[in-house]
Structures are given as C-alpha cells and as structure tokens.
Amino acid sequence: MRVEVLYVAECPWHPAAVKLVKDVLAAEGVAAEIQEVLARDEGMADGLRFTGSPTIRINGRDVAGEPQNAQSFALSCRLYPGSKQVGLPPVEVIHRAVRAARQERRS
C-alpha cells in the first residue's frame, strides 16, 4: 500500500496529519511506510495535482476524494468539510480509504 502525505512548508497540520495516518494504519493492522512529499513550488504543486496542505493519498487516491473544482493547483492550506479538526480529514475517511485499498489488493 502506498501512503503519501503531501504538504507545504510551514503547514501547521502536517505533523498531525502524519500522526493521524500512522494511528489509522496501526488500528487497521496495516504496515506501510508513509511518504511525506513537500510541494516546494507552483510547478511541483501542479505536477502533483496538489489540492492543499495536507493532502493524504492512499495508492494515489485522495482520501477525501478529488475536489470537483480542482482545475488549478497551488501552494495553499486545505480545509476538510465535516471534519472536527481544522486542517485534517475526518478519521473515518482515512479508515475507509485504507480498507478500500486493502480490498483492492485482495481482488
């Protein structure tokens, strides 16, 4: 399973996002390395299809789904609707993404 946390420098939620992902992986019994990807500039943000910091991807898919208006990509913070923690997706969203990736691997 490929797990990525994409972020911008000075993102206040980056460390919490990494911890949240580690906690979910442990709870799901998944041993996977978390790749932390720093989006350094606008060109890199565009190439990564970066929708804001932090972005969590499992097997290349955004755990919160791709924003419908993601026409342009930029170095910015990200807010997750419905989350109880500012700057982080709801924990259940990450659990669902991990379970879906594990299910895909079995298929």
Domains recognised in the chain with CATH numbers: 3-106 (3.40.30)
**Helix (H), strand (E) at residue 14:** helix 14-28
Three-point CA angle 60, 35, 33, nearest 5°:
100
| Residues pairing with 3 in the sheet | 34, 58
Confidence grade of residue 36 (pLDDT, cut at 50, 70, 90): very high
Reported pTM: 0.90
Ranges assigned E (strand) in 1-107 = 3-7, 34-38, 55-58, 61-62
Quick check: 61 pLDDT over 70? yes
**Which letter does DSSP use for residue 96 in this model?**
H
According to the model, what pLDDT value does residue 71 have? 59
Question: Residues 41-50: pLDDT tens digits?
Answer: 999 988 998 8
| Residues pairing with 48 in the sheet | none
